[in-house]
Amino acid sequence: MFKSLKPVLCGIFSLLAMGAHAAVPVKLGLNYPHSGEYREEGLMQKRGALMAIDEISAAGGVLDRPLRLIDRDSASQVDRARANVDALAAEGAAMLFGGSSSAVAIAASQQARKHDLLYFGTLTYSNDTTGKDGHQGLFRECYSAWMAARVLGDYLRQEHRDQTYFYVTADYTWGHTTEASMRAFTGTEKADRHQSVRVPFPGGRYHEIQEAMKRAAQSDAKVLVLVLFGEQMVHGMRIAQQLGLSERMQIVVPNLTLSMVEQAGPFIMAGVIGASPWTWNVPLQFDYPRGRQFVEAFSSRYRTRPSTSAASAYSIIYQWKDAVERAGRFDSAAVRQALEGHRYSLLKDEQIWRAFDHQNVQSVYAVRIKARDQVMKDEYRQNFFEIISVMSGEDAAPTLAQWQQARRDAGKPLQLE
């Protein structure tokens, strides 16, 4: 009798083992700022990622395996981000993503190459990310400083022609390339007329931002460009309000996010102009059903509107999932090939993972922060963004020739390696 049961029991145990193996989660590694100056953007990234993972796992997972998020706090520090990559790789992450500092995203992606892992940048706006520092293992979902400056430059040239600018800039790769792009596309390259002062990052102290803002107040500029992000931008705007700069200057914050506007407050931010690759009202205004669904689900789940970084993390996970399924396997080389040149629509109109630089080419928006009474009409009091200009990704992104020139100037190969 026992002999006759043995094949049956073996078969049952084999099926159970196969089922257990099939249910082993695929780990996705988020390297993000849980603390530090960009922590609010990091929180939004994690929320967007968790929502995507829950949705995908509930729908059957990726190649019949559920997803699981593992994460580490970068605190927007390069060395810490590199160590995080090693830790996440050791835990078995199948891919890595995150970053609200371009210096962190670039360093983390270089470390990920050593583990043969793809790295997806969420908030990393420096031109260098997919420019001189681009490589085969790095993809950027968001736009670049160049793309933001293109849409802003068109608008500002019309509305503030021949006016004097003053730049207050975070002293690292994102700040440097953003200021350079803004100068190029607004015709304000002459530093003797259009002055600039730099603020240390990370760790720029309040009094250093205050001194920079006082320098701006002492100038005769009509346009103040705050190339600051996260808490530094919030401090800068509060000081600008105290100095009365909003009343005599048009303030431009090249990269605006919901979290930054909310931290500073709609009264202080009203009238500020900036750019974004996505805001929560884009799918509602332009009728993108999948984007509208995301906004409604995210708002209901977290009791807040999603920011750009939430949408980016959410989109990255869905795009990675689709690439794995097209490739039929998880290995990085196959997923990379499935992504290169791929066109898709998810939360907005059509986007493409450009093959030659791994930049996500997409529509970009110039926005103005609405007056407080308009902001408060939203259920979550976050109706911040008035879209004042739209530019296609093809018009906004650097061309192949421009990209290759930047690589040539940096002594880098004219193709990704």
Give the Cα separation of 236 and 221 in Å (integer). Answer: 16
pLDDT at 22: 54
At 76, is the pLDDT very low, low, confident or very high (cuts 50, 70, 90)? confident
CB 257 within 8 A of CB 309: yes
Alpha-carbon separation of residue 19 from 23, 315, 331 (angstroms): 6, 29, 22
Asked if the peptide bond before residue 202 counts as cis, ω within 30 degrees of 0, the response is yes
CA nearest to 47, candidates 230, 258, 213: 258
Give the tokens for residue 372. 């407080």
Beta strands 165-171 and 223-227 are parallel
- For 351-401, write each residue's pLDDT tens digit: 999 999 999 999 999 999 999 999 998 999 999 999 999 999 999 999 999
Phi and psi based region of residue 64 (left: phi greater than 0; alpha: psi -120 to 50; beta: remaining): left
**Alpha carbon distances (Å) from 335 to 89, 270, 339, 372:** 17, 43, 6, 45
* 6 band by pLDDT with thresholds 50, 70 and 90: low
Q: CA–CA separation, 268 vs 256, rounded Å? A: 14
Q: Convert the pLDDT of each residue in 315-353 to its tens digit.
A: 999 999 999 999 999 999 999 999 999 999 999 999 999
Domains of the chain (ranges, CATH numbers) = 24-143+292-363 (3.40.50.2300), 146-283+365-396 (3.40.50.2300)
Cβ proximity of 85 and 112 under 8 Å:
yes
Q: 385-416 in b/e burial notation, b at 16+ Cβ within 10 A?
A: bbeebebebeebbbeeeebbebbeeeebeeeb
